[in-house]
Amino acid sequence: MKREDTVIFALSSNVELADEICEHLNLDRGKIDVKHFADGEILVEPLESVRGKSVFIIQSTCSPVSETYMEVLIALDACRRASADEITVVMPYYGYARQDRKARARQPISSKLMANLLTTAGADRVVMIDLHAPQIQGFFDIPTDDLTAVSMIGQYYRNKNFEDEIVIVSPDHGGATRARKLSDVIPGSTIAIIDKRRTKPNVAEAMNLIGDVDGKIAIVIDDMVDTAGSLMGGIDMLYDKGAKEVYAACTHGILSGPAVERIASSSLKELLVTNTIPLKEEARQEPKIKQISVGYMLAKAIEAIETHKPVSTLFDLFND
């Protein structure tokens, strides 16, 4: 890649991850000013030329979700008006992904709206990690790359060298494919599925278990953990069904509200998250919460895009 023609900007949500990506690529992070005025208005201004350059804007649209989205949209507009040649949004966590369909009458499909806004504002490509629903890629009329952290999560657990049999548990039917992918990279593991009914947002009732966890180490895999309410119900069920130990892993550790307290006081052995969303200090201090980095994978994705090589090779990057 021609480093002099590439600019990487970090907005406010995940500067630490952006710095790690730049370190892997041996690039300096581009200078950009992000201001929030007293009335809530946002100004994003690149402080160096982007004319004719390939620009990468790194921003996870995590809390405050609407503000972080606005930063991206305004940054896109600024770079487009400054004659950037190509603009890629690297959005490790894609906010509003849970609003991907009309679950009830008159509900919006906000995930599609966000895709429209990103495209209209000037994005040429969007790179994401473990979308809540892979079909969200179809909301875009521009190229998208939905990377996955499953292979690095698998590497993490392989390195633990568990002596007992492992079962990979999906917290619902929708996550069965993700559980199967993790099972495929952890030799000898089987899968199980928790059958649950969601009554309202952030509240779920575990109903039944499909599969056998008796005497095994259970690893619950999901794309995100928000308030951890759903996770706690699943953990209790797994122990009731005879699981020896219960671990959990997710790509996006949102960890809102009482999540950290719930995890700390639970019988969960450990929660593994990635750094698509920066951990709050409370979560950083909790010994049960472990974090691995997606920085190297995103750096390789940027390198592949810039050198016109396939990004798909990154799906097996950590399957050693």
What residues are annotated to the active site? 196
CA distance 227 to 270: 16
Instruction: Determine if residue 228 is labeled as part of a ligand binding site.
Output: yes
Instruction: Determine if residue 230 is labeled as part of a ligand binding site.
Output: yes
Instruction: Determine if residue 155 is labeled as part of a ligand binding site.
Output: no
- Element spanning 195, H or E: strand 190-200
Instruction: Determine if residue 320 is labeled as part of a ligand binding site.
Output: no
Instruction: Determine if residue 226 is labeled as part of a ligand binding site.
Output: yes
DSSP-derived secondary structure for 230-263 = HHHHHHHHHHHTT-SEEEEEEEEE---TTHHHHH
Instruction: Determine if residue 41 is labeled as part of a ligand binding site.
Output: yes
Q: In the chain, helix, strand, coil percent, each to 5?
A: 35, 30, 40
DSSP-derived secondary structure for 70-110 = HHHHHHHHHHHHTTBSEEEEEESS-TTTT--S-SSTT---H
Instruction: Determine if residue 98 is labeled as part of a ligand binding site.
Output: yes
Instruction: Determine if residue 132 is labeled as part of a ligand binding site.
Output: yes
CA distance 191 to 176: 8
Instruction: Determine if residue 16 is labeled as part of a ligand binding site.
Output: no
Burial degree of 164 (CB within 10 A; 0-12, 13-18, 19+): exposed
Nearest to 132 by CA among 157, 105, 114, 152: 114
Instruction: Determine if residue 313 is labeled as part of a ligand binding site.
Output: no
Nearest to 304 by CA among 125, 52, 120, 154: 125
Say if CB 220 and CB 249 are below 8 A apart: yes
Instruction: Determine if residue 39 is labeled as part of a ligand binding site.
Output: yes
Q: Which residues are annotated as a binding site for Mg(2+)?
A: 132, 172
Residues within the annotated binding site? 39-41, 98-99, 132, 172, 198, 222, 226-230
Binding site as annotated, residues for D-ribose 5-phosphate: 198, 222, 226-230
Residues within the annotated binding site for ATP? 39-41, 98-99
